[in-house]
A = this chain, B = another copy of it.
Amino acid sequence: MSSEFNLIDRFFVQGNLSRDDVDLGIGDDCALVSVPANHQIAVTTDSLVAGTHFLADADPVRVGYKALASNLSDLAAMGAKPTWVSLALTLPQSDEVWLKDFCDGFFGLAKQHNVQLIGGDTTKGPLSITITVQGIVPKGEAMTRKGACCGDDIYVTGNLGDSAAGLEVVLNASTIDKSELEKELEKRHYYSSPRVELAQQIRHLCHSALDISDGLISDLGHILKQSGVTAKIDVEKLPVSEELVQYCQNNGDKYQKMALTSGEEYELCFTAPKINREAIKQITTFLNQNVSIIGEISNESFTNLQSKVQLYKNETSLDWQLSGYDHFRSEA
């Protein structure tokens, strides 16, 4: 690390928490952490690269938030409790203003979830962020993609599609004066809230789960493949915001197609036996978190495009052509 990067130390140390299970934090060759008895560690890594996952001139507060949120969402998918994070930051130059804002976004979210920065690396080069976040989960209690059973309800958290609409706004350079609606959707693209607390409370009631950061239709496929089952989805049950419907007005089914394919929302999809409906409802009500049942796990074979997912609307099967969410596809 060049001496010009010294200011990074200042921001990183100032913004940080101090957890009891961190025996040695930033400042040695490694961090040392302790794990409570009868727990497993959940580990996940995500990179955000300027030009691929965000625009280089994006608000650094939003970038810092989003970089951590995408990783926390992976922990949420397992029902793990976040504990420690390592941050590798590559910057074209030492930019104090950018860095301060990035840290505001990053540490703001880290504090919300009681995650301590335990190390990382700061290097010079094209702007990118790689985060490894860790969490703990009682042994054998993690949710995985395997385990969905025929007859399970299929749930999603929150609303779907806002992030994709927000990304359209971000990428639509012709929009100089953004409407309030567009600004709101843009904000939602950056500020999805990972479902960390909810996931820990419901994990014992679920058969399978994952985060739908690549879009529902694409990610649900992983559960179906690993569990050896299929799914029926009622597109009328997809939870969508009023803002998305308004944004898509005069575009027919667009809002539902966006809900099926929108990525980077950090919502969860999970399956649970019908017998657990009431228990899940009580918990989500208590936590004031919206979840929606959008369909059912099946063992039927379907012959349409997605093959493992059959879409319905008012009990009529649909044959929509959908593709997975691809960051900045047109530029890739």
What are 6 contact pairs spanning A and B, CB under 8 A?
A29-B78, A49-B123, A49-B124, A52-B125, A88-B130, A121-B130
Q: Is the CB of A118 within 8 A of B32?
A: no
**A118 to nearest B CB, angstroms?**
6
* In the complex, A240 has a CB within 8 A of chain B: no
Q: Is the CB of B128 within 8 A of A24?
A: no
Q: Specify the main secondary structure of chain A where it touches its partner.
A: strand
- Mask: chain A, 74-102; 1 = CB below 8 Å from B; 0 = not: 11011010001011101000000000000
* In the complex, A173 has a CB within 8 A of chain B: no
Q: Is the CB of B41 within 8 A of A33?
A: yes
Q: Is the CB of A42 within 8 A of B49?
A: no
Residue of B nearest to A48 (CB): B123
Residue of B nearest to A120 (CB): B45
Bound CA span A145–B32, Å = 13
Interface size on A, residues (CB 8 A): 59
Residue of B nearest to A329 (CB): B2
**A121 to nearest B CB, angstroms?**
5
**A171 to nearest B CB, angstroms?**
16
> Which A residues fall within an 8 A CB radius of B?
2, 23-24, 27-35, 37, 40-47, 49-53, 74-75, 77-78, 80, 84, 86-88, 90, 118-121, 123-126, 128, 130, 132, 134-135, 137, 139, 142, 144-145, 210-211, 226, 326, 332
Q: Is the CB of A24 within 8 A of B132?
A: no
Residues of the B chain whose Cβ atoms lie less than 8 Å from the Cβ of A326: 2
Residues of the B chain whose Cβ atoms lie less than 8 Å from the Cβ of A119: 43-45
Q: Which of B30, B44, B126 contacts A43 (CB 8 A)?
A: B30
Q: Which of B44, B74, B132, B144 contacts A45 (CB 8 A)?
A: B132
**A325 to nearest B CB, angstroms?**
11
Copies in the complex: 2
Residues of the B chain whose Cβ atoms lie less than 8 Å from the Cβ of A40: 23, 32-34
Given A86-B132, A125-B50, also A210-B28 (CB < 8 A): yes
Bound CA span A121–B45, Å = 6
Q: Which of B29, B41, B145 contacts A44 (CB 8 A)?
A: B29
Residue of B nearest to A86 (CB): B45
Given A31-B43, A44-B30, also A49-B90 (CB < 8 A): yes
Bound CA span A175–B77, Å = 53
Bound CA span A40–B77, Å = 25
Q: Is the CB of B77 within 8 A of A30?
A: yes
Residues of the B chain whose Cβ atoms lie less than 8 Å from the Cβ of A47: 88, 90, 121, 123, 130
Q: Which of B24, B30, B53, B77 contacts A74 (CB 8 A)?
A: B30
Q: Is the CB of B123 within 8 A of A125?
A: no
Given A34-B139, A40-B23, also A28-B144 (CB < 8 A): yes
Residues of the B chain whose Cβ atoms lie less than 8 Å from the Cβ of A74: 29-30
Residues of the B chain whose Cβ atoms lie less than 8 Å from the Cβ of A53: 123
Residues of the B chain whose Cβ atoms lie less than 8 Å from the Cβ of A226: 27
Residue of B nearest to A35 (CB): B35
Bound CA span A43–B145, Å = 27
Residues of the B chain whose Cβ atoms lie less than 8 Å from the Cβ of A45: 86-88, 119-121, 130, 132
Residues of the B chain whose Cβ atoms lie less than 8 Å from the Cβ of A145: 27-29
